[in-house]
């Protein structure tokens, strides 16, 4: 419990960025919603970090990140909160506070911290999209799966702009994808990307031999990225990509 309280306090204090990546000229993060199980922080003009919590046997109560990107009263959601109640809270915030339509929700891999709250989106007929492997693995594990499949990449309309989902290779899981919002150069790396000073974490479904090369491809694809969101922990910049590459390069 003390560890959870520390993590929660750290987030609520606004210390979201890794050291040496925050510039005073950049958008200052603002907490816009908080409940016991869900925190939403605006991290740019049109992007929001949503953090919910997952109880695990090995790591305790873990904060899990997702992203919402917005343009002209439309949004796309990357990763659901970890459970249905928190997902309902996120949906209500988007609809009632942001006054936006949810065009799509995209789980970035098949674990609960990405799609544990998928059912409320489906109940409201919000389209969900997943890598073919994500859908197969979700069904194998008897959990709610995304409804629409894609193979390599997907472009999703958001107002008069777009977000991109792309598969670069195996890492945390064999199906992990990332989301990118070109309008503001924001990357949602999900569990493929680690926060600074993180450990390797759960490796039960990982390919540690390919992890570094996969992240290297992400880095090369998005040279102008300004904000990087990991699956867990503090957001940052390109240094999160470099840290993750180095963390796994010896394997």
When pLDDT is averaged across residues 89-93 and rounded to a whole number, the result is 98
| Residue 15, pLDDT score | 52
Q: Could you tell me which residues come within 8 angstroms of residue 175 by beta carbon, excluding any fewer than 6 positions away?
A: 109, 110, 130, 131, 133, 134, 137, 167
- Locate the DSSP E strands across 168-205: 177-181, 186-190
| Residue 27, pLDDT score | 81
17: pLDDT confidence band, cut at 50, 70 and 90? low
Q: Model-level pTM?
A: 0.90
Tell me which H or E stretch contains 71.
strand 60-71
How confident is the model over 183-209, as pLDDT tens digits?
999 999 999 999 999 999 999 999 999
How confident is the model over 48-71, as pLDDT tens digits?
999 999 987 777 889 999 999 999
Q: 139-146 long-range CB contacts below 8 Å, 24 or more apart?
A: 141/110, 143/110, 143/112, 143/115, 143/116, 144/115, 144/118, 144/119, 145/115, 145/118, 146/105, 146/106, 146/107, 146/115, 146/118
Residue 59 sits at the vertex; the CA angle it makes with 58 and 65, to the nearest 5 degrees, is: 135
| Residue 248, pLDDT score | 98
Domains in the chain, ordered, with CATH? 2-248 (3.60.15.10)
């Amino acid at each position: 419990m003390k560890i959870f309280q520390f993590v929660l306090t750290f987030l609520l204090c606004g210390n979201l960025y890794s050291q040496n990546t925050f510039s005073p000229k950049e958008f200052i993060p603002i907490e816009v919603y908080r409940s016991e199980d869900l925190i939403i922080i605006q991290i740019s003009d049109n992007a929001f970090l949503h953090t919910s919590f997952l109880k695990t046997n090995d790591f305790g109560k873990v904060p899990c990140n997702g992203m919402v990107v917005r343009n002209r009263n439309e949004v796309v959601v990357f990763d659901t909160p970890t459970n249905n109640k928190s997902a309902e809270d996120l949906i209500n915030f988007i609809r009632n506070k942001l006054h936006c339509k949810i065009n799509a929700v995209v789980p970035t891999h098949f674990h609960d911290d990405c799609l544990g709250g998928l059912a409320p989106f489906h109940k409201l007929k919000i389209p969900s999209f997943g890598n073919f492997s994500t859908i197969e693995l979700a069904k194998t594990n008897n959990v709610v799966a995304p409804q629409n499949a894609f193979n390599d990449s997907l472009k999703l309309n958001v107002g008069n702009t777009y977000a991109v989902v792309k598969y670069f290779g195996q890492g945390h899981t064999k199906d992990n994808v990332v989301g990118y919002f070109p309008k503001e150069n924001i990357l949602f790396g999900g569990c493929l990307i680690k926060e600074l000073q993180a450990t390797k974490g759960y490796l039960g479904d990982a390919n540690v031999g390919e992890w570094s090369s996969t992240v290297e491809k992400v880095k090369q694809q998005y040279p102008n990225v300004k904000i990087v969101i990991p699956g867990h922990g503090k957001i940052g910049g390109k240094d999160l990509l470099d840290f993750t590459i180095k963390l796994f390069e010896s394997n």
